[in-house]
Structure 1
Amino acid sequence: MHKSSTTLQTLPRIDLNADLGEGGQHDAAILKIVSSANIACGGHVGDTDSMRTAVRLARANDVAIGAHPSFVDKENFGRSVQHPSPEILFEQLCEQVNSLIQIAEQEGCVVQHLKPHGALYNQAAKDSELGAILIRVIQDCQPQLRLVALAGSALVTQAAAAGIHVIQEAFADRRYNNDGSLRARTFPDACIEDDAEAVQQTLKLVQHQQLQSVSGELISVRAETLCVHGDGVHALHLLESIRAQLVQLGVTIAAPEHS
């Protein structure tokens, strides 16, 4: 992660996103709070009905819609490291993304971004072969799709070099390693369970583009979008708290603008 001197004055807005359509109890309420939604497309969870429900709710709340494809791994909720063949993975991801695009079109909506889920997200952040597959998926499915990727990761540079519009992402409810990567979920402290701590991490990210790693080191993280996992037990309350704090600071919560 490179150091950044950006201050709140040059970042008057932030996108607040959540991963939805994953069987969480509060999707409808969450979609009244966030500005972007990443909708599960069937790889780790989700089907035609859940996608259509999420799309309709997002449209009703003027929330930007994104595809949230995954390794095909329902047993492990897409959070297990996988190494499928490149062509099989490409076909699986295209099928997932195209399914959501088709449903969105039927509902009069446009899918605006793609955010890989779980293990695919973390592996692609540093694996250029997986990054190339995600780039191909966007180019094949809908070239206007923007790619949501871990802020500061190698994937950001790779996708931008391929002409993809990248939205750099940080997490309110995840802990980080010193190199800016996410703490693996195999560690018990990977997720932030305390709402107050997650809110403080959010404020540090938005105000100072910094956060504290698991070892206590301050690292620079410059992000345009902030994620709270919609399937978390405290997701709704946490999102309400985060939005209230950001609004109080005068930060505009809105989906990234089209270039």
Structure 2
Amino acid sequence: MLLNCDLGESFGAWKMGLDEQVMPHIDLANVACGFHAGDPDVLAHTLSLVKQHQVTLGAHPSYPDKQGFGRRSMQMSEQSLTNTLHYQIAALEGMANVQQLSVSYVKPHGALYNDMMNNPQLLKWVLQAVARYSRSLKVMILATAEQDKHRELAHKIGIDLMFEAFADRLYTDEGLLTPRSQPNSVHNKQALLQQVSQFHDDNSVTTNTGKRLPLVADTLCVHGDNEASIMLIQDIKQLLNT
């Protein structure tokens, strides 16, 4: 199972994440495209790290919500959302081309990601928008109980999916992430590693009601916010390689 991480989310003098430390331990870099975080200098530096460590590059676009870090839902028309996604992907791709890199996939950020996983119409719009981009890109979405349905939708649109699981989050019976506002929605280290082990060994997760839910994921989302999280990534990687 490949490890992916959201990166390039600093802005100006404000620093978010330990990108230099996390990059050697991951396989996929979801790089902010400027609408929730990032700026030209941050983007160029992040891409240099991607190139140095030979990590697969993905676009991490969001609603146009830099003030809210892309965590606020927005009502957008299909055309406006499509243009917003194309603008961000193209910005990342243009900067990547300067360093002889190319974008391989798209993982929406924050509220856009959560909204599309809860709204089939919005998910369809996002997939169609990426399918209409100038070249073929995969889309990373949450692995849920409706994986087969999502795979069928993507096939009809003509796009490939990458299914993602979260090591640190408590799942619902539907395979969605328990809202952070609810108790025990974020696992401690022991529960996190146990969930990673279950993903790895059994292709399943234990939900908030104790139900075993089969989930097949291509990639696991990890975080590089602090020193403890970097050490945790190393533990996860060791666990996955055993």
Amino acid at match of 2:115: Q
Aligned to 2:117: 125
Q: Is the alpha carbon distance of 1:187 and 1:202 closer, same or farther for their aligned partners in structure 2, counting shifts above 3 Å?
A: same
Aligned to 1:190: 185
1:123 to partner: Cα distance: 1.5
RMSD: 1.8
Aligned to 1:111: 103
Aligned to 2:172: 177
Amino acid at match of 1:242: I
Counterparts of 1:219 and 1:190 in 2: how far apart (Å)? 17
Aligned to 2:4: 17
* 1:202 aligned onto 2:184: no
Are the aligned partners of 1:150 and 1:156 in contact in 2 as well (CA < 8 Å)? Answer: no
- Aligned residue among 193, 208, 212 for 1:214: 208
* 3-state secondary structure, aligned to 1:53: helix
Q: Is the alpha carbon distance of 1:149 and 1:232 closer, same or farther for their aligned partners in structure 2, counting shifts above 3 Å?
A: farther
Counterparts of 1:127 and 1:84 in 2: how far apart (Å)? 13
Counterparts of 1:241 and 1:60 in 2: how far apart (Å)? 23
- Aligned residue among 226, 239, 248 for 2:233: 239
1:191 to partner: Cα distance: 2.4
Tell me the alpha carbon deviations over residues 37-77 of structure 1, each in whole angstroms, 9 at most, x when there is no partner. Answer: 10011121112222211111011101000000011122322
Tell me the alpha carbon deviations over residues 166-224 of structure 1, each in whole angstroms, 9 at most, x when there is no partner. Answer: 111111112211110111233353322x2222111111001101111122222111101
Counterparts of 2:152 and 2:71 in 1: how far apart (Å)? 24
Aligned to 2:223: 229
Amino acid at match of 2:137: L
Structure with the larger RCO, 1 or 2 (CA within 8 Å, 6+ apart) = 1
1:142 to partner: Cα distance: 3.9
Unaligned ranges ≥5, structure 2: 11-15
- Aligned residue among 28, 31, 41 for 2:33: 41
* 1:76 aligned onto 2:63: no
Amino acid at match of 1:121: Y
Counterparts of 1:125 and 1:156 in 2: how far apart (Å)? 13
Are the aligned partners of 1:19 and 1:231 in contact in 2 as well (CA < 8 Å)? Answer: no
Are the aligned partners of 1:128 and 1:155 in contact in 2 as well (CA < 8 Å)? Answer: no
Counterparts of 1:233 and 1:137 in 2: how far apart (Å)? 37
Are the aligned partners of 1:19 and 1:39 in contact in 2 as well (CA < 8 Å)? Answer: yes
Are the aligned partners of 2:30 and 2:58 in contact in 1 as well (CA < 8 Å)? Answer: yes
Counterparts of 1:139 and 1:40 in 2: how far apart (Å)? 20
Q: Is the alpha carbon distance of 1:53 and 1:157 closer, same or farther for their aligned partners in structure 2, counting shifts above 3 Å?
A: farther
Counterparts of 1:232 and 1:216 in 2: how far apart (Å)? 31
Report sequence identity in percent: 32
Amino acid at match of 1:182: L
- Aligned residue among 68, 93, 97 for 1:101: 93
Counterparts of 2:224 and 2:109 in 1: how far apart (Å)? 13
Counterparts of 1:72 and 1:188 in 2: how far apart (Å)? 30
Q: Alignment length, in residue pairs? A: 234
* 3-state secondary structure, aligned to 2:25: coil
Unaligned ranges ≥5, structure 1: 1-13, 250-259
Counterparts of 2:114 and 2:3 in 1: how far apart (Å)? 20
Are the aligned partners of 2:131 and 2:157 in contact in 1 as well (CA < 8 Å)? Answer: no
Are the aligned partners of 1:201 and 1:211 in contact in 2 as well (CA < 8 Å)? Answer: yes
Q: Is the alpha carbon distance of 1:155 and 1:74 closer, same or farther for their aligned partners in structure 2, counting shifts above 3 Å?
A: farther
Q: Is the alpha carbon distance of 1:29 and 1:178 closer, same or farther for their aligned partners in structure 2, counting shifts above 3 Å?
A: same
